[in-house]
Amino acid sequence: MPKQQTYDHLLFIVVLVLMGLGLVMVYSSSALVAETRYQVSSYYFLKKQAFCMGLAMLVLLGAMIVPYTFWRKMCYVLLLFSIILLALVFFPALGKRAGGACRWLNLSGFSFQPAEFAKLALILYLAHFLAKKVDDIEDMKAIFLPLFIVLGVSFLLIVKQPDLGTGVVIVLIAFSLVFAAGAKKRQLFGIAGLFSLCLGGLIWLVRYRLQRILVFMNPWKDPAGKGYQMVQSFCALGAGGWFGQGLGQGIQKCGYLPEAHTDFIFSVIGEELGFIGTFAVLVLFGIFIWRGFLIARRAKDPFARWLALGITCLIGCQAFINIGVAIGILPTKGLALPFISFGGSSLIVNALAVGMLLNISITV
Amino acid sequence: MKKKSKRSSNINRRIVILQVLFFIMMAFITVRLYHLQILQHDFYSEKVLSRLPSLSTSAKPRRGTIYDCQGRELAVSVNVGSIYGIPRQIRQGGNFIIQQLCKILHLNTRRLEKKLDPKQNFVWIKRKVDPDVANRLKRLQFEGVGFCEESKRYFPSAGLAAQLLGFAGMDNHGLEGTELFFDELLRVNDKEKKGADLAKFFSSEDFDQEFIPFAGPYDLQLTINKVIQYQTEKELADCCTTMEAKAGLAIVMEIQSGEILAMANWPTYNLNNFSQYPARFRRNRCITDTFEPGSIFKIFLAASALEEKVLGPSDIVHCGNGTFRIGGRIIHDTHKHGWLSVSNVIKESSNIGSAKIGLLLGEEKFHTSLKNFGFGSKTGIQLPGEARGNIKPVNRWTDLTTANISFGQGILVTPLQIINAVCCLANQGWWRKPRILKALRNEEGEILELPDSGPVRRVLSKATCESVTKMLEMVVQSGTGTSAYLPGYRVAGKTGTAQKIDPESKRYSSKLFYSSFVGYFPANTPQIAILVSIDEPRKEHLGALVAAPVFRKIAQSIIRYQNIAPVEKKRYLKNQRWRLASTAP
């Protein structure tokens, strides 16, 4: 019996719902801050996000049409391109600094985060690499040397920005893929150990990271100072209760909760829509992960499988790290909540990724 | 092969493991969320709900003032107090607070109680009250009642130029008229943005040298003259009430500069209470409404015919003794005429004569000329909602269309287009954009004069303008427009009594009229043009009897106000004699 050749409707709907919710929450959480802190119209962030969302939808639909094999052909080009972009950030003429970090590229009025793009480029490369070499998984050198070089370079460039959160996401995705590919326990422990050492070193070297970790252990030690963000996030979530204060009724976003429309948008959802709202978001991401893994398991082409897996891990890891920060089970990171947080680069790149995933879902 | 399938199932098993890990993570997050949001809810909500929004939007900056051409205020911003409530906190204070609030602010007790729903975090109790009242309340120090200062739009002369100025809403955003059109300039923006805003309203040629935009809101200086506007509105209202008209409008324009000195609509409304009036009061009919102009349109027919040298002013046409059959229809004249010169066709306002001139001119030339006068396209005045009117495309003109348009039927124009085209005639044939904004000013008093962008195109030659002006002078001296005559001044003008379409029978009505008069003076060196149009006057219907006297009264007050000198005495007396002789029975 021939199987119906259609894309995964459920996955598509989940993404649409998340984006819609994102638009509403971005407006709710940014309106006041836009007027008072940024001195622009209260619709400023909403308009920008709506524009990016339109663009993202076009990208998504476009990527749904393009056969995924096309990306395999392009993977080296894209990888090289993303590494060049990552390096360009450090040139003062092109890079844009914000909040002490240098993560944006300025392109005639538009700013763009190359790290977002790099994540996807790396996934494409990993998928291609594993599809080619999966028979040699037990051969340490053949597999791990090129992997280490590519990953290492990107990782260093991203961490240098500094954007440790994205670096961690990349390593997590790579680790998941290598694990799924069938790496031995010994190998996995090796990678994990090496990475932990790296991470430990990075944390030790830069003082604020260590502080963040310590604060994360006990935010209530200094609720007005270093634990401020965390405590405000708890307050927002806690004030929500079962059903929340009502849409637009949150108080925490009015200057108490920093970065309410980007990093801590989940807390605003918690305050305004309550446990019902946050749980719904969690379930939506759960469905995404379920469908994503299903597509990966059903894929017959190895490249499609690894790509689907990588993309699912990308969305899943980002979502859970962002939520983890908001609920205080992870130290503060500058990661966006996929499809929901304000931010064009992340939205468009995630849409591109979903488009690829949906294209794969047509073939399985 | 076997190895491969084994490997594939191994991979699938590991993917499932990853998936399970994710779901464990999810479960963990859910538990944590339950802990935070449900179990610790009371702890956190107590913490959060005791605070007020730490960012307040109350410190709204001032909105720019609007002045008339001599710096008199037309629209200003005043600081007023607004009162809001935090219902959660009021609840503890009890009914006493609500009672007091209602007493001082004259509010309905039950409605306020309902408004202060304890589920809400923030409720406006009353916005934009007198600062004294707000201060009195402030001293009472009610718990859960807050105050902030807001700025409110106030129009010192209430209904003056209401439709032109427009108003700003509760949130100080312009909603109509100049308030809407120049909203971005009146509002505060940063300096860079301001440059962009300016560029939106003015072309770079408007500025002579490199202009650095200044910060802060701009004050606008309009071309409107408050005194002339007042007189115009007064005369218009007098006429409309005595004639029991449905509506009326009048525009006064300075001919050389194209500046609008007054733009009046009747019925009008009080800008300080704009919400209490229906939309028909708020419409600026001078630019948004189109109408069939009727006989005043013969001015442009005569000008076109003379410009194209189809006829001279003294060439004659036969006016068919009151009836003229064309395209299956019969055109009538109110008075029967035989042979009339072009001048006399205008003077006596003969429809048949006009139709014949139009046919001699031909549809192509007539159409082009009307387009050049600006009919069928927006004048480009800086006001929102301008209509463009409607001229049929020339390939759909029949002889009947040409004949009809010759005396102003079958074409839709706006009052502003009419007066602007008349200004073009009076300004030696140079067409220009009407101006409403004269200058910008910032808070430090720096003035940015908007330079005159100058005439756009030449529509008529000087000779044509002079001949047509002469004809129009005749109209006022001895033709249909004698009630617009001003002793001592040379006035050129034309009456118009257009039949309106009866909304029921869809035909030209014999009862509903649109009576107009358009004219300018002094005819030798034209300075001021005035258009008066009265919609459905009931007592009288002829433009000569309804609109022309209004023209005369407005013109008289402008002459007094601007000290416009009469023509020399000799000429004046000669004219008087000539006039007496020509009007003798």
A239 and B16 within 8 Å at the Cβ level: the answer is no
Residues of chain B in Cβ contact (below 8 Å) with chain A:
7, 10-12, 14-19, 22-23, 25-26, 28-30, 32-34, 36-38, 40-41, 43-45, 47-49, 51-57, 119-121, 190
B175-188 pLDDT, tens digit each: 899 999 988 888 76
Contact B12 A297 (CB under 8 A): yes
Closest CA to B332 of B413, B409, B418: B409
- Residue B145 dihedral angles phi and psi, to the nearest 5°: -115, 125
Helices B399-406 and B351-361, axial angle in degrees (round to 10): 130
Taking alpha carbons only, the member of A30, A29, A89, A19 closest to residue A59 is A19
The minimal CB distance from A39 to the residues B29, B49, B190 is found for B190
- pLDDT reported for residue A50: 94
Judged by CB atoms closer than 8 Å, whether chains meet at B22 and A289 is answered as yes
Domains of chain B, by residue range, sit at: 66-221, 228-268+285-583
Residue with tokens 């309340």: B137
Q: Residue B84: what pLDDT?
A: 85
Least CB–CB distance from B38: residue in A241, A293, A316: A241
Among A182, A238, A242, select the one facing B7 at the smallest CB separation: A182
Answer CATH for B228-268+285-583 from 3.40.50.620, 3.30.70.20, 3.40.50.2000, 3.40.710.10: 3.40.710.10
Residues of A in contact with B121 (CB under 8 A): 245, 249, 251
What are the DSSP calls for B299-323, one per residue? Answer: HHHHHHHHHTTSS-TT-EEE-GGGE
Residue B539 identity (one-letter amino acid): K
pLDDT for A334:
77
Identity of the residue in B15, B40, B57 whose CB atom sits nearest the CB atom of A36: B57
What is the distance between the alpha carbons of residues A295 and A355, in angstroms, rounded to a whole number? 13
Cross-strand bridge partners of residue B499: B513
Euclidean distance between CA atoms A31 and A25, whole angstroms: 10
| Nearest beta carbon to residue A278 from set B33, B40, B119 | B33
Cβ contact (<8 Å) for A246 and B119? yes
Report the C-alpha gap between B481 and B545 in whole angstroms.
Answer: 9
* C-alpha to C-alpha distances, A334 to A222, A258, A321, B57, nearest whole angstrom: 21, 12, 10, 28
pLDDT of residue B205: 58
Q: Which residue of B has its CA nearest to A235?
A: B44
For A4, counting Cβ atoms within 10 Å of its Cβ (0-12 exposed, 13-18 middle, 19+ buried), the class is: exposed
Q: In Å, how far from its chain's centre is CA B479?
A: 33
Residues of B in contact with A289 (CB under 8 A): 19, 22-23
Determine whether B263 is exposed, middle or buried from the number of CB atoms within 10 Å of its CB (0-12, 13-18, 19+). buried
Interface contact A179-B18, CB threshold 8 A: yes
Same CATH topology for B66-221 and B228-268+285-583?
A: no
CA distance B385 to chain A (A): 24
Closest-approach residue (CA) in chain A for B13: A180
Mean pLDDT per 10-residue interval, chain B, length 585 residues: 64 88 92 89 80 53 86 88 80 75 85 79 83 84 81 88 90 87 77 59 57 70 94 95 94 94 94 88 93 94 93 89 87 88 91 93 94 93 92 92 93 95 94 91 75 84 94 91 89 92 86 93 92 93 91 94 78 62 51
Q: List beta partners, residue B331.
A: B324
> Which residue in B17, B18, B55 is closest to A254 by CB distance?
B55
What is the DSSP-derived secondary structure letter of residue B451?
A: -
Nearest-Cα residue of chain A relative to residue B17: A180
Q: Check if the beta carbon of residue B337 is closer than 8 Å to that of residue B350.
A: yes
* Residue among A36, A176, A271 minimizing CB distance to B18: A176
Minimum-distance CB partner of B14 among A39, A179, A242: A179
The DSSP code sequence of A294-360 is: HHHHH--SHHHHHHHHHHHHHHHHHHHHHHHHHTTSS----PPPTTTSS-HHHHHHHHHHHHHHHHH
* Residue in A297, A309, A323 nearest the CB of B29: A323
B172 CB neighbours in chain A (<8 A) are none
Angstroms from B178 CA to nearest CA on chain A: 21
* Shortest CA gap A90–chain B (Å): 27
Q: Answer yes or no: are the C-beta atoms of B260 and B228 closer than 8 Å.
A: no
Residue A2: what pLDDT? 47
Provide the residue-wise pLDDT of chain A in tens; the chain has 364 residues: 445 578 889 999 999 999 999 999 999 988 888 877 777 778 889 999 999 999 999 999 999 999 998 999 988 999 999 888 888 877 766 666 665 666 777 665 567 788 888 999 999 998 998 888 766 666 666 677 777 888 888 888 888 777 888 888 888 898 888 888 877 777 778 778 888 888 788 777 776 777 777 776 677 777 767 778 888 888 888 888 898 888 888 888 877 888 888 889 999 999 999 999 999 999 999 999 999 999 999 888 889 999 999 999 999 999 999 999 898 888 877 788 999 999 888 999 999 999 999 999 988 7
Q: Which residues of B touch A275 (CB under 8 A)?
A: 33-34, 37-38
CB contact under 8 A, B45 and A241: yes
**Chain A partners within 8 Å of B16 (Cβ):** 293, 297
Instruction: Report which of B249, B354, B264, B250 is spatially closest to residue B311, judged by C-alpha positions.
Output: B354
Contact A32 B53 (CB under 8 A): yes
ipTM value of the model? Answer: 0.88
Nearest CB to B36; choose among A36, A293, A327:
A327
Which residues have CB under 8 Å from B234's CB, separation 6+? none
B374: Cβ contacts below 8 Å, ≥ 6 apart? B417, B420, B421, B424, B431
**Binary contact (A275, B33; C-beta < 8 A):** yes
Nearest CA of chain A to the CA of B192: how many Å? 13
Q: Which amino acid is at A139?
A: D
- The answer to whether A316 and A324 are in contact (CB under 8 A) is no
- Asked whether the beta carbons of residue A254 and residue B12 sit closer than 8 angstroms, the reply is no
List, in sequence order, every residue forming a beta bridge with B251; answer none if it has no partner: B263, B531
- Best probe of the A interface among B13, B18, B23, B171, by most A CBs < 10 A, is B18
Which residues in chain B have their CB less than 8 angstroms from residue A245's CB? 121
| Chain A residues whose beta carbon lies within 8 Å of the beta carbon of residue B36 | 234, 237-238, 270, 327-328
Report how far residue B233's alpha carbon sits from residue B229's, in angstroms, rounded to the nearest whole number. 6
Fold of B66-221: Penicillin-binding protein 2a (Domain 2) (3.90.1310)
Residues of A in contact with B28 (CB under 8 A): 329
The pLDDT value given to residue A101: 64
In tens, the pLDDT along B235-290 reads: 999 999 999 999 999 999 999 999 999 999 999 999 988 888 988 899 999 999 99
pLDDT at B53: 53
- Nearest chain B Cα to A252, which residue? B48
Closest CA to B383 of B285, B492, B473, B314: B285
Q: How many CB pairs below 8 Å do chains A and B form together?
A: 132
B158's CB contacts (< 8 A; 6+ apart) are B270, B271, B272
Per-residue model confidence (pLDDT) at position A135 = 63
Task: Give the separation between CA B281 and CA B558, rounded to whole angstroms.
Answer: 26
